[in-house]
Amino acid sequence: MATGESDVSRGTGMSRAAGAPGGPGPRPASSPPDPAGAARNAHAQLDLEQPAGTNFYVAIAGNIGVGKSMTTRLIGETFGWPMYFEPVINNPYLADYYQDMERWSFHLQVYFLSKRFEVQKKIMDHGGSAVQDRTIYEDVEIFAPTLHRRRCMDDRDYENYREIFRNMVSFLRAPDLLIYLHCEPETAMARIQERGRTIESDIPLDFLKDLHVAYEDWLERAPALCPVEIIDTERINLRDDLQAQEDLLRLINRRHRQKHQRIGRGLSRREGTA
């Protein structure tokens, strides 16, 4: 759950794969957190012209430590889109939650639900394209059910939580594309340890395993919400492999253009029947 930064950032139009883990193998301790200028220049030369007048909303999903923040930055800074990160910094519950999940799960989940709904409103009010690190749907479909099954959230609190979400759902805008970053729980644990956030030092492996099972189950249902692309980060190194980054950026650009074309065809049909 703790994967990212606390606020919205705006892209610069140049790509930058940040130093958060997102590919197999550890980054040497002496490596800088930002990639070399050659990587940014390589992506700057791509033909990724965005269709005018059609916004596109990309959401990055996946387990703790998989590399969502890094991928969000890559996309946002390449396309110049606002980037919405998880509220980790200044989160009043997170440290207590990792120390005592049973005591603080409900409080933390309601906090995340509120903040994620706030982000949804910002995305809709902005009206343009955007990329988001973890969605409100993951709170409801992954984290809350997992905590409930682990008996960290009792039946009363869980039903109350889901009722809050049901009252929100009609106001939500589904992503145009959900990108799920897959990795095994043991890999997620290694990446969490590599990035060395003190607040995450007590995350148990069995919790990551439970989240992994919940994600794999949700992926069967998620296409009913929006299109889904799965990237296996056990094999594909989005952090360091320029070709892998380029493939992802081109995929997003292609999907964006396809949406623009669908809207154009719809307008043409309506004009033809007017």
- Tell me which residue has tokens 């889904």: 228
11 has pLDDT over 70: no
Active-site amino acid positions: 133
> How many whole angstroms from its chain centre is CA 206?
22
Does residue 246 surpass a pLDDT of 80? yes
Q: Is residue 111 part of a domain?
A: yes
What is the extent of the structural domain holding 234?
35-41+53-273
Task: Using a pLDDT cut of 70, give the percent of the chain over it.
Answer: 80
Structural domain includes residue 79: yes
Higher pLDDT: 6 or 97? It is 97
User: Is 267 exposed, middle or buried, given 0-12, 13-18 or 19+ CB atoms closer than 10 A?
Assistant: exposed
Residue 13 lies in a domain: no
How many domains does the chain contain in total?
Answer: 1
pLDDT, tens digit (0-9, with 9 covering 90-100), for 173-194: 999 999 999 999 999 999 999 9
Q: Please, which pLDDT band fits residue 234 given cuts at 50, 70 and 90? A: very high
Q: Hunting for tokens 């394209």 — which residue is that? A: 129
Contacts of 77 (CB under 8 A, 6+ apart): 11, 12, 13, 14, 15, 16, 83
Residue 88 and residue 5 in contact, taking contact as beta carbons nearer than 8 Å: yes
Mean pLDDT of 144-160: 96
- How far apart are the C-alpha atoms of 171 and 17, rounded to whole Å? 32
Q: What is the pLDDT of residue 144?
A: 97
**Distance separating alpha carbons of residues 135 and 1, to the nearest angstrom:** 11
pLDDT band, residue 47 (cuts 50/70/90): confident
Give a yes or no: residue 78 inside a domain. Answer: yes
Q: Does 198 reside within a domain? A: yes
Residue 160 lies inside a defined structural domain of this protein: yes
* d(C-alpha 179, C-alpha 75), whole Å: 11
Q: By C-alpha distance, which of 67, 85, 84 is closest to 245?
A: 67
Do 185 and 209 touch, CB atoms closer than 8 A? yes
CA-atom Rg of the chain in angstroms: 19
Query: Domain of 163: which CATH number?
Result: 3.40.50.300
Does 247 reside within a domain?
A: yes
Phi-psi region of 151 (alpha: psi -120 to 50; beta: other; left: phi over 0): left
* pTM higher than the cut 0.95: no
Token pair belonging to 115: 């903040």
Please name the residues in contact with 46: beta carbons below 8 A apart, sequence gap of 6 or more. 78, 246, 249, 250
User: Who's near 127: CB < 8 A, 6+ residues apart?
Assistant: 55
* Residue 1, in any domain of the structure: no
Q: What is the pLDDT of residues 106-137, one digit of tens each?
A: 999 999 999 999 999 999 998 899 999 999 99
What pLDDT is stored for residue 8 in this prediction?
58
Tell me the pLDDT tens digit for each residue of 155-178.
999 999 999 999 998 889 999 999
